[in-house]
Structure 1
């Protein structure tokens, strides 16, 4: 029989050490999109909306010719829905003209920072800023939703969607509230695992009325952490608010504070089999699986599709205004 102290030593050293978020790893600027950069770095998707929205995604030429995609005089990039036309009812039309764009490049371990002035808001809207596996097919390789909500929501939802055998660890140091822990897209009607922000003005009309803000998403084998800072917040780190800074950033340094969402996997999810090289996607759809089912409960009316078809003036706020999008990768 082994001496007790040796047995204890063997037991302790055999237990896998928990993954700890490094605060010393530096990341260098890899890619920046600002203004017209988006036209070269993204493709305009024209497929039927996979979430069954009352939406007609248009190609780049149409988007530019109809002023739905352009760089404004301040240098921000705009993506808008049509807010002038009555839409023909029924299957003769897919729905209201809108935008869905996907980056040509993909990134693995990375830090994504977006300086966002305005996001789509209002009844029937379902905007999202997210990443998804370039190789796929979905849900292989995973999905990371960084900004998402519907109708008149006021709090951002950050979520993950994966293949089976992936869940998030509860009781992490984060400001948000866990909505669900199972990331498997095949259960709970593809709810995924998500954290709802408790930071005011993190989504929708409140966000826009506050001149927007900054979102940062840090992805590594340790986990996926997300921060949000309102534009006028006194604690916005200078490397977040002042453009490229030196081109080098240390994620999660103390000045960043507690993340809104802090997902660590450890033994609950094998990172490398669930997440691979991701494209970046912006889209704006209407009604569909989420916004449509929540339309009446949001006090928006009895029928989402009729609302979209007949009320173009209701979509004056249905646009993205992106000041800059920056992607950093490990040094």
Structure 2
């Protein structure tokens, strides 16, 4: 190994030995504050590119750094945790086959039957399809076959982004994309209905169901906290008011139903963190670039359609350990009880159920569902807020330096 390689190797190994620290010197003298093994290699350090000489510093667009102070901005990033899409989509879900808890006139199929009957499949282009039976003529009183899937994994908090081409709709149809607390008696640990509606509705409804003590604050501290309209009561207790919970309808007339499908669907995002539980709907033509880039940043998005503020409901006391659910049911507590008063829905819901042509629009078409976890960032920021100082380990260069050290020491 040449003297230069030896010098550089020792430099890199010395950098790797540095424990995270907050520099107490100005950036111009940081190199002199490094541990003694580096003192003899200042010249070598100067020959290394700046990004390696000062890996703990991220240059901002303006100004010179001054004495650093602890970062108290609460900055965080959302890191991709799980992706559900394409040919492997159904690998990570179970097909629920029990009775519908909402009293729908539905027969949920297991995975083998759903695949065999064409009610669950993945197209050649990767789109995931789930639908209700739209080919079988039924005698009155017979439940129609459909699909309900639940994620194998559970989540407490996160950012859930669903990219949809279409969602089910039609008289007597009641679809939902939602989450609920697993392994406990409902509504303990809560339920979050992200996308839900009935019949030919054109407004999505976001609803929360909880144990007693959680309330929807319709005018939370601050301005314009959500754009939707509260519906019904503000008490989210799922044990009262016919299990209705508390809800907010989206202001947009293309957030659900035929109009949603006609404009190519869009994306739904649900953020669950210490700031509450918020839901956004994004038109297909106006998707945030950060989502498309795989680096979502909800702090830059428009005001959410719905928000359950921590002022009225602690998001980690009333919500915990959630499975994700897609389902399509028919009639039942909501669609059945409102069928007779819905314009355009003729006869009775059980009679309507017999004709398969009434359910040609009862289908999901999913591009992807991505779940992100929140990662808080820690570091220090200059008092002038013009430069961020990060520890070596936090800078993302730890692996780079390790690889350099190994490469340099090779024969």
**When the two structures are superposed, what TM-score results if normalisation uses the length of structure 2?**
0.70
* Deviation sequence 1:294-324 (CA, Å, 0-9, x none): 1111120231011102x10111111000000
How many residue pairs were aligned? 297
Counterpart for residue 224 of structure 1: 277
Alpha-carbon offset, residue 232 of structure 1: 1.6
Distance in 2 separating the partners of 1:112 and 1:275: 15
Which ranges of structure 1 fall in alignment gaps of 5 or more residues?
Answer: 1-21
Q: Is the 8 A contact 2:272 2:315 kept in 1?
A: no
Q: Is the 8 A contact 1:46 1:58 kept in 2?
A: yes
Given the alignment, which residue of 296, 307, 313 partners 2:340? 296
* Deviation sequence 1:160-185 (CA, Å, 0-9, x none): 00010110111242110111311001
Given the alignment, which residue of 186, 192, 201 partners 2:239? 186
Alpha-carbon offset, residue 23 of structure 1: 7.6
Q: Secondary structure at the match of 1:228?
A: strand
Q: Is the 8 A contact 1:146 1:157 kept in 2?
A: yes
Which ranges of structure 2 fall in alignment gaps of 5 or more residues?
Answer: 1-72, 376-411
* Structure with the largest fraction of helix: 2
Q: Is the 8 A contact 2:203 2:251 kept in 1?
A: yes
Distance in 2 separating the partners of 1:305 and 1:38: 33
Given the alignment, which residue of 197, 216, 227 partners 1:175? 227
Q: Which has the larger radius of gyration?
A: 2
Does residue 270 in structure 1 map to residue 320 in structure 2?
Answer: no
Counterpart for residue 118 of structure 1: 166
Distance in 2 separating the partners of 1:138 and 1:232: 38
Q: Secondary structure at the match of 2:83?
A: strand
Distance in 1 separating the partners of 2:132 and 2:349: 16
Give the alignment's Cα RMSD to 1 decimal.
1.4
Counterpart for residue 14 of structure 1: none
Q: Secondary structure at the match of 1:207?
A: helix
Q: Secondary structure at the match of 1:296?
A: helix
Distance in 1 separating the partners of 2:331 and 2:305: 27
Q: Is the 8 A contact 2:276 2:314 kept in 1?
A: no
**When the two structures are superposed, what TM-score results if normalisation uses the length of structure 1?**
0.87
Q: Is the 8 A contact 1:145 1:159 kept in 2?
A: yes
Counterpart for residue 123 of structure 2: 72
Q: Is the 8 A contact 1:168 1:265 kept in 2?
A: no
Given the alignment, which residue of 66, 75, 79 partners 1:24? 75
